[in-house]
Chain A
Amino acid sequence: MGGYGDVQLLREDGKRLDGRALDEMRPVSIEVGVLPAAQGSAMVTHGLNVAVAAVYGPMEAHPRKIQRQDRAVIDVRYNMAPFSTSDRIRPGFNRRSQEISKVTAEALESVVLVELYPRSKIRVEIEILAAEAGTRCAGITAATAALADAGIPMRDLMIGVASGKIENIVVLDLDKAEDNYGQADLPAGILPNTGEIAFLQMDGDLSPDEFNLAMEYNFKAAREIHDIMVNALKQKQQRGEA
């Protein structure tokens, strides 16, 4: 976190700079089946973030040393397009994207019914086209929607969402300014139906009470995004039947 406490992030009326209430998330929209070349795909816009995910597989796992006899492995690549941020990013992997890819893969392996596909691999490609704080969460939501679109069985629909702290107050879904100048960020991958958490990171400073409130906000937002995703999946089914 930037942790510069002297930047004002709350207005006189108690609302946030973009007019949101403390427990209000940015607008989210989800569309599935957006990439014709992929088995499953989704585009998620979360505020100004745009994440696209494609799923390929299950397919034979290569090289053989990555194979698991009792389950599928999930190969995740999270990548930010060079033009996705205000300063251009040099193409290619960096430490940040490697780490996010790793923990996202592990989260997805705990949600997908990997034991149904022994010795195989499922490829999940996450591309961030526009970044404005919260891309790993938008990426997780897009990956889940793409897996569902590909018809890959999962225990639940994992939703990526973050809460944080600005001016000593817990708020849901930090935007760019809040992320840069706030005091904490708590991104999570929530399973709204089972009530579990499959992805968790955090940086900054939170008291136990603040953590509990932030997580409560995350579950609330995850349920909202879950419904948006279910609608998107239903709409595609209806398009297919029409």
Chain B
Amino acid sequence: MVELVPSLLRQELGRLAAVDERLDGRGRWEGRGVTLETNCLYNAEGSAKVTIGGTIVYAGVKFEIRAPWPDRPTQGSLMCGAELRPVAHVKYEPGPPSPESIELGRVVDRGIRESGCIDMDDLCIVPGEKVWGIMIDIHVLSDQGNIFDACGLAAIAALRTAIVPAQRFDVGEDYTLKVNGTPIMASFTRVGGRFIYDPSEQEELGGDERIHITLGDEGHVHSLQKGLKGVFTPAEFAEIFEVAQQRCAELRNLVAEQEGN
């Protein structure tokens, strides 16, 4: 894999930005093709595979029974984690979870948790004794840019297909997990001085700060994250916030279509 020297790449991205073009010919707010496949992992209680261009991400949902926290005796829990394993790119090294993978998992986690799509009281089995713990594990297999959006989409799509394995744990019949909403993430990176939607690998390499926005069904914002070095203005944010509304609505339709089939 021959990569352009980043300073040359930055120059080229700056030149393209001046004439409002992108390396791969996309428009500024145009995303790459997205595919979504659900129920694709045999041993997961809910699963999804998402591809965005050459980026490939799997998410799997598992359940466990645990004791509730003493101050919330009727509430279950939700945990979402991401692994950036060395399979996904030559740049990822083996070892304990990197700050990057922890950030990724936590941003996706916040978007799902804060949207309120899971009612933690629904996860109660015996008050004060037994509640369900939901674990969403995200596995990035190929990183060609914008893994955040791919992980966010895979996580919520997997969660929305999850079957609670009550039978296996001897606490009743299996049932479909109740999920009230479809929070969706949209990510923007500053490339050549202006923000673009859905950064490619090259745009991330030669770009600056990134902003991740997770929106709920009503267009309310549920999680935000600004990452990497750089500053932006409220006017710039207002612009990408509007684009995020459109892109998130489109992806939410994709999830609904997939579920309709």
Contact = CB atoms under 8 A, between A and B. Distances in A.
B137 A82 contact: yes
A37 B54 contact: yes
A86 B44 CA distance: 7
Contacts of B56: 34-36
Interface stretch (A17-25, A64-72, A126-134, A181-189): A126-134
B41 A83 contact: yes
Contact of B85 (A34, A59, A125, A130): A125
A77 B83 CA distance: 14
B141 A123 contact: no
Interface in B62-106: 62, 64, 81, 83, 85-90, 94, 96-97
A180 interface: no
B65 to A, nearest CB: 11
Contact of B87 (A83, A85, A92, A125): A125
Main secondary structure of the interface of A (DSSP, over half): loop
Contacts of A81: 58, 60, 137, 139
A152 interface: no
Given A50-B42, A129-B139, A91 B62 contact: no
B136 to A, nearest CB: 9
B109 interface: no
A132 B43 contact: yes
Contact of B43 (A35, A59, A85): A85
Contacts of B94: 77
Contacts of B53: 36
Contacts of B139: 81-83, 127, 129
A178 to B, nearest CB: 17
B142 A88 contact: no
A36 B90 contact: no
Contact of B144 (A37, A41, A84, A85): A37
A150 B43 CA distance: 30
A104 interface: no
A143 to B, nearest CB: 11
18 contacts: A36-B54, A36-B142, A48-B42, A54-B87, A54-B142, A82-B83, A82-B139, A83-B47, A83-B61, A83-B137, A84-B43, A84-B44, A85-B43, A88-B64, A88-B137, A123-B86, A127-B139, A130-B42
Interface of A: 34-39, 41, 48, 50, 52-54, 56, 59, 77, 79, 81-88, 91-92, 123, 125-127, 129-132
